[in-house]
Chains A and B, each alone.
Chain A
Amino acid sequence: MTTFLFYFFAILTVVAAAGVIAARSPMYSAMSLVGTFFCLAAIYALLLAHTIAVLQVLVYAGAIMVLFLFVIMLLSLGEAVGPAKVTFPRVVGGIASAVLFAFLVVAARPFVPVGAQPPPSFGTLQSIGAQLYTQWLAPFEAVSLRVLVARVGAVVVAKSRV
């Protein structure tokens, strides 16, 4: 069952990710990206990362994509016209990313799976929260400050007159 679910969602993820890059209009790209995030959330759930799967849907597919859609609608960009052409930079980009993929696969091969049995509390909100507010408190506060600075920066940058 896990095997079927993994391949089902893995193929959907890759197809949607390819759709992000291949779509002619940024709006279709954004919609494919939402699909990618949902399928990835399912993969995360397969990895018993329930909390992260929920956050993926809430923050990525929810908040971040709404931001993207607002900007796409705000800029009202036209669609690219004509069929996609095979140009020299695209061929070079394709070769470069194929080489990168080959390197990553070679790098991922030697890892011997530990196959450890996860404890019952694995990936629960309680377990994640307990670690977040003890061991990881300093990075958590740093990230919260970073998000605050980013929000202020976004307002200042996007304003027409400061």
Chain B
Amino acid sequence: MDGISITLQHYLFLAALLFSLGVFGVLVRRNALVVFMSVELMLNASNLTFLAFARDAGMDVGHLPALFVIAVAAAEAAIGLAIIIAVFRSRGTVNVDDIRTMRL
């Protein structure tokens, strides 16, 4: 062990930074596909938190939620991209500012 070893906090800060970047992407990008990719960044940040705590506690039961997050992300990507295709078919755009039928 050297002086500046990597602790739990390092991983948590990296996850926090990734999650914040994902939130930033969701808030500022107008392309629905890029918004979707930012959501994937946030899911990965949560996975990193699970794995960091699992490593710190020395119990790999924390790996299973991460596994389920990956499976749910696969399902979410399939249905989300199908919706984007359907919207593009009917509107000709994937800009989230132009899709405002349900807005008051």
Contacts and interface: CB of A to CB of B under 8 A. Distances in A.
Interface of A: 2-3, 6, 10, 13-14, 17-18, 20-21, 23, 26, 29-30, 33, 36-37, 40, 43-44, 46-49, 51-52, 55-56, 59-60, 63-64, 67-68, 71-72, 74-75, 77, 89-90, 92-94, 96-98, 100-101, 104-105, 108-109, 111, 113-119, 121-123, 127-128, 131-132, 135-136, 139-140, 143-144, 146-147, 149-151, 153-155, 157-158, 160
**Chain B: interface size category:** 35 or more
Contact of A68 (B27, B29, B37, B44): B37
Given A97-B23, A128-B67, A143 B72 contact: yes
Contacts, number: 232
B79 A30 contact: no
Contact of B18 (A17, A72, A122, A158): A17
Interface in B4-61: 4-14, 16-25, 27-29, 31, 33-34, 36-38, 40-41, 44, 47-48, 51-52, 54-61
A157 B79 contact: yes
Given A26-B34, A97-B24, A143-B71, A52 B47 contact: yes
Contacts of B98: none
12 contacts: A10-B14, A20-B34, A26-B33, A29-B37, A30-B33, A60-B40, A64-B40, A93-B28, A127-B60, A143-B71, A147-B71, A158-B82
B70 A56 contact: yes
